[in-house]
């Protein structure tokens, strides 16, 4: 045991502006987990290199992301917040796990297939890192003997792969790794694009009207919600049905997640109203919610020395914890050391 409580690990790659999907899919759960779990919240900057083109943006994105972690209620006195590249044990375990991963299982990763298709369409070459990306994620998780991983639905397959790699390693070397479980909520684990609700809301979407960014200004948020795709059912009726009414169902999931109200409770309250009125309610709730979040974010973002202190202290804690797992693995693998 390297921690006294069950361990929870989550991360976001700072590859651009964070979206409402990131918030609803994972960040909104983080603060309430802090009392019951040993929480590690990581900024996956090495993952961001797989898609990153501009190093100045990456620096900014890392600090933006860190500020959002704090604004969402992650308390550095209760949880560990750290930047992945500050803890070199992640890269070391990444290599070792590469030796226990199979080419064919990586080829099956849906996220890789999607990203590769996008890169091909833009005439970009696919890096080996994009292919190996889920193994670094497995290293992140397994390094701390993680029990739970709160993620959106798109990352479920990666956590399953992590379990497979851990199982393979354990069957050869004994019970080295804890098998992690994904924590995925029924609603809000896949927020969809506003204009094309059959696809995931994603920070890399070329059509910015598909996406609510956490830093969008309020009038823009209202416009985006008002223009969101619904459907032409007559007479218009608000109910939850992903297949028949993907647009309305998506807006219901958004409203339910930010108000913490059950969808069935919302449906009773919304009975008989028109789509336009429904959108006004969503836009109003979301604007109020994001206004508060942005205010808190701005307070943290302007204090870079505080942000650096948090990241430094987090890294030191993680280095100490992860070194224990890594030493044990080196020992099992027969890698010798002449250093104390
Ligand atoms: P990333 O940066 O793409 O997304 C971060 C988190 O946000 C969730 N998410 C969504 N949830 C609901 N609806 C959406 N539209 C939506 N878009 C994104 C993702 O599921 C994710 O939970 N590989 C990871 C980062 C990572 C990680 C880890 C996660 C690196 N190491 C270890 C967990 C554990 C990624 O690229 O997430």
Q: Could you read off the pLDDT of 38-81 as tens digits, one per residue?
A: 999 999 999 999 876 666 689 999 999 999 999 999 999 999 99
Q: Is the CB of 140 under 6 A from ligand 1?
A: yes
DSSP string, 241-280: -TTT-HHHHHHHHHHHHHHT--HHHHHHHTTT--HHHHHH
Helix axes 156-173, 304-333, angle to 10 degrees: 40
Q: Is the CB of 90 under 6 A from ligand 1?
A: no
Find the mean pLDDT for residues 279-308: 98
Q: Is the CB of 11 under 6 A from ligand 1?
A: yes
Residue 131: both structure tokens together? 């292919």
**Could you tell which of 20, 139, 151, 258 is best to mutate to test the pocket of ligand 1, judged by most ligand atoms within 8 Å of the CB?**
151
The pTM for the full model equals 0.96
- pLDDT in the model for residue 340: 64
**CA angle (222, 31, 192) in 5-degree steps:** 40
pLDDT averaged over the chain? 95
What is the set of active-site residues? 120, 200, 203
- pLDDT in the model for residue 53: 65
> Which residue is closest in CA terms to ligand 1's atom 33?
10
Q: Is the CB of 216 under 6 A from ligand 1?
A: no
d(CA 255, CA 213): 16
Domains of the chain: 7-184+304-333 (3.40.50.620), 208-298 (1.10.240.10)
Element (H, E) at 181: strand 181-183
Residue 216 is assigned to a ligand binding site: no
Band (pLDDT 50/70/90 cuts) for residue 299 is: very high
Compute the distance from residue 12 Cα to the ligand 1 centre, in Å: 5
Find the mean pLDDT for residues 233-252: 94
Element (H, E) at 332: helix 304-333
**Could you tell which of 30, 52, 85, 154 is best to mutate to test the pocket of ligand 1, judged by most ligand atoms within 8 Å of the CB?**
154
Find the mean pLDDT for residues 185-208: 95
Burial of 227 (0-12, 13-18, 19+ CB in 10 A): exposed
> Which residue is closest in CA terms to ligand 1's atom 29?
11
Residue 201 is assigned to a ligand binding site: yes
Q: Is the CB of 210 under 6 A from ligand 1?
A: no
User: ω into residue 235 within 30 of 0, thus cis?
Assistant: yes
Backbone angles phi, psi at 184, to 5 degrees: -130, 125
- pLDDT in the model for residue 125: 79
Of 167, 164, 165, nearest to 175 (Cα)?
167
Distance of CA 291 to CAs 59, 188, 285, 295, 317, Å? 25, 20, 10, 6, 33
d(CA 314, CA 76): 8
> Which residue is closest in CA terms to ligand 1's atom 27?
11
11 DSSP β-pair partners = 42
Band (pLDDT 50/70/90 cuts) for residue 338 is: confident
Q: Is the CB of 250 under 6 A from ligand 1?
A: no
């Amino acid at each position: 045991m390297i921690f006294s409580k069950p361990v929870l690990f989550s991360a976001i790659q700072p590859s651009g502006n964070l979206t409402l999907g990131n918030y609803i899919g994972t960040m909104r759960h983080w603060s309430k987990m802090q009392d019951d779990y040993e929480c590690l919240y990581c900024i996956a900057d090495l993952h961001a290199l797989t898609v990153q083109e501009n190093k100045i943006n990456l620096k900014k994105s890392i600090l933006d992301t860190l500020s959002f972690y704090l604004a969402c209620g992650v308390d550095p006195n209760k949880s560990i917040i750290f930047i992945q590249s500050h803890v070199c044990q992640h890269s070391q375990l990444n290599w070792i796990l590469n030796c226990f991963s199979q080419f064919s299982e990586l080829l099956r990763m849906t996220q890789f297939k999607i990203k590769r298709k996008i890169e091909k369409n833009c005439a970009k070459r696919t890096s080996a890192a994009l292919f190996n990306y889920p193994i670094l994620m497995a290293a992140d998780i397994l390094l701390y003997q993680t029990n739970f991983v709160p993620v959106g639905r798109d990352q479920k397959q990666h956590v399953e792969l992590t379990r497979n790699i851990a199982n393979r390693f354990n069957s050869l070397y004994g019970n080295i790794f804890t098998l992690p479980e994904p924590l995925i909520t029924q609603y809000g684990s896949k927020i969809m694009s506003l204009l094309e609700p059959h696809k995931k809301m994603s920070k890399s979407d070329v059509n910015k009207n598909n996406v609510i960014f956490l830093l969008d200004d309020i009038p823009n948020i209202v416009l985006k919600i008002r223009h969101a795709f619904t459907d032409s059912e007559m007479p218009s009726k608000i109910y939850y049905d992903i297949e028949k009414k993907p647009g309305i169902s998506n807006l219901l999931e958004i409203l339910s997640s930010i108000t913490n109200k059950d969808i069935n409770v919302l449906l009773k309250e919304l009975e008989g109203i028109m789509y336009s009125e429904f959108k006004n309610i969503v836009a109003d709730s979301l604007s109020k919610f994001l206004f508060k979040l942005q205010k808190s974010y701005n307070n943290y973002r302007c204090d870079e020395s505080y942000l650096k202190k948090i990241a430094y202290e987090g890294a030191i804690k993680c280095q100490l914890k992860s070194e224990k797992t890594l030493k044990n693995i080196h020992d099992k693998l027969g890698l010798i050391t002449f250093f104390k």
